Structure 1
Amino acid sequence: MSKIRVSAISYTNTVPFIYGLENSSIINHIELSKDIPSECAKKLLENKADIGLVPVAVIPKIFNAEIVADYCIGATGPARSVILGSYKPINEIETIYLDYHSRSSVMLARILAKEFWNIKVKWADTTEGFENKINGSNAAVVIGDKAFTVEQKFTYKYDLAEEWIKYTGLPFVFAVWASNKPLGQLFKTEFNNALKKGIDSIDKLEKSSFSYLPQHVDAIDYLKNNISYNLDDNKKKGMTLFLKYASEIN
């Protein structure tokens, strides 16, 4: 039987999931890759993966998409690793550069600008290193571990999850485990158990394994207090509202 191809996100917030998968028997039944979020989405869309930790914004585009796990990358407060950084207040921003790693966070920024911040800006695509070139009335959506690197340099920093929660009263979900084909219940149960094992093991993770992060970042604290992993009913409501707004964005 061929192994099930699983695409996980290569960010710190996914380390517990990867730990759980790699330290459970399910690792013998999967082919695990680690990718940036937009690549996870691309792999599922192009049938180069069977399961992916995919940006929520992409789910409507995936044929036969099914959410296969009770866990996600979500936030019930500041997520810290998804920010809009600028040197001007929000109402003086003219151009927002969009992180090329992202799908859901880019859409979230567009929704916030239109529905809640009530600002009209130019949107600009980016390439590697864009976060170091922001100046004047420009701003940038920066996601993942590089948000930690630049968070202290901006005069203004807007946490996008916190902004969403402030305006909607609902938590935000950045990514969910989704498949593009039917999977057996036995596999899904084993997959969920592995993810739970990883989340339950956060305190056991070696701090030395996060040496790539800036010194001011406490990775364990971030995983426990900024990222919310359980895909509960409230998060599903937040997802539904996000997808409704997303469908109305040109």
Structure 2
Amino acid sequence: MIKVSCVSYLNSIPFVSGLRILESEKLITLSLDTPADCAAKLIRGEVDLGLIPVATIPLVPGGQIVTDFCIGAKGAVKSVTLLSEVPLAQIKTILLDYQSRTSVNLTRILAKEFWRISPAWQAGEAGFENQIRGNVAGVVIGDRSLQMRDGFPYVYDLSEEWFKFTNMPFVFACWVTTKNLQKEFIDRLNAVFADGIDAIPALVEKLKGNADFYEASEDYLKNFLQYNLDDSMRKAMGLFLEKVRAL
């Protein structure tokens, strides 16, 4: 049985929907994790397939990208942000979200090459969001970003900033395996993922009533996220990894 780790954020519900089907068919076992934990499990060999941050792909021994899908955006994404009470030029320290290596590296690249600022960098721990005040900004990702972004006067959408910088889309996470998965299984993954994306309105409807339900979920999933790992996404991913190596 194939062991799979998928991100537990709202942006992954089309994937989780498909994976639950495969789980019911006894084809996989599924764990839901933060992006960082997805990568760590794959690197340690605890899972065979993971939706992992792009920046961690070079760290996976024998890792190879599979499926036609990813978590990406062409322009604004809403859920990967630098939150601040002051404009960029006044930021002295940036707290870095511990849940994703990709977003951290993207922020460093933008600061160095696009924003032209040199803040102090500080690793965030659980609850670090409460320290974002004054000239201390913070990188916040996932569902927390969706819930918190309206509470700050300065919200820098990192995917949108990357697009301004490069005129390219951005890929946050890909499906990566360390095994030689059979073509039939990968085809099945592609099929259930495509079905999950088509079912977004129904999936969002099921979330209504949850205490932490995000009112704009359907708009976010359908109009801000890009799930297809097309050639433009792959090219952008290559540029990002090249810039990560140069940090």
With the shorter chain as reference, the TM-score category is: over 0.9
Change (3 A) 1:13 1:206: closer
Q: If the length of structure 1 is used for normalisation, what is the TM-score? A: 0.95
Secondary structure of the 1:63 match is coil
Identity of aligned residues (%): 46
Instruction: Give the 3 Å change call, closer, same or farther, for CA 173–206 of structure 1 in structure 2.
Output: closer
Q: What is aligned with 1:111?
A: 109
Distance 1:73 1:186, change over 3 A: same
Look up the equivalent residue of 1:100 and give its one-letter code.
Y
Equivalent residue for 2:8, pick from 10, 22, 28: 10
Q: 1:178 — aligned with what?
A: 176
Relative to structure 1, the CA distance from residue 50 to residue 225 in structure 2 (aligned partners, 3 Å threshold; closer, same or farther) is same
AA at the equivalent of 2:156? Y
* CA apart distance, 1:24: 4.9
Distance 1:157 1:89 in 2: 9
Q: Contact 1:20/1:197 (CA < 8 Å) preserved in 2?
A: yes
Matched residue, 1:193: 191
**Quick check: 1:125 aligned with 2:123?**
yes
Distance 2:217 2:233 in 1: 23
Q: How far apart are 1:232 and its partner, in Å?
A: 0.4
State the 1:127 CA deviation.
1.2
Question: Following the alignment from structure 1 to structure 2, what is the Cα–Cα distance between the partners of residues 190 and 142?
Answer: 33
The normalised TM-score by structure 2 is 0.96
Distance 1:236 1:206 in 2: 28
8 A Cα contact 2:23 2:29, kept in partner: no
| Equivalent residue pairs, number | 246
Q: State yes or no: 1:137 paired with 2:124.
A: no
Cα distance in 2 for partners of 1:12, 1:212 equals 14
Runs of 4+ that moved beyond 6 A? none
Equivalent position SS for 1:241: helix
TM-superposed CA distance for 1:20, in Å, is 1.6
Please report how far the alpha carbon of residue 129 of structure 1 lies from its aligned counterpart in structure 2 after TM superposition: 1.3
Change (3 A) 1:25 1:86: closer
- Are residues 135 and 206 of structure 1, via their aligned partners in 2, closer, same or farther at CA, if it must alter by over 3 Å? closer
Separation of aligned partners in 2, 1:145 and 1:30: 26
Alignment partners' CA distance in 2, 1:214 and 1:152: 15
Alignment of 1:51-130 (within 5 A): 51-130=49-128
Q: What's the counterpart of residue 237 of structure 2?
A: 239
Whether contact under 8 Å (1:20, 1:199) holds in the other structure is no
Contact 1:173/1:239 (<8 A) preserved: yes
Match for residue 213 of structure 1? 212
**How far apart, in 2, do the equivalents of 1:43 and 1:20 lie?**
21
> Do the aligned residues in 2 keep the contact of 1:9 with 1:35 (CA within 8 Å)?
yes
3-state DSSP of counterpart to 1:205: helix
Structure 2 unaligned segments of length 5 or more: list them: none
| 1:181 alignment partner AA | K
Give the drift of 1:26.
Answer: 7.4
Deviation at 1:207, TM superposition (A): 2.5
Residue 183 of structure 1 and its aligned partner are, at CA, apart by 1.1
Offset at residue 102 of structure 1 (A): 1.1
Deviation string for 1:39-90 (max 9, x for gaps)? Answer: 0000011001100000000001111111111000000121100000001100
Cα distance in 1, alignment partners of residues 23 and 41 from structure 2:
24
Give the aligned residue type for 2:7.
I
**In 1, Cα distance between equivalents of 2:125 and 2:87:** 24
Paired with 1:107 and 1:52, the residues of 2 have a C-alpha distance of 20
- Whole-angstrom CA distance in 1 between matches of 2:236 and 2:24: 30
Instruction: Find 1:28's aligned residue among 26, 29, 48.
Output: 26
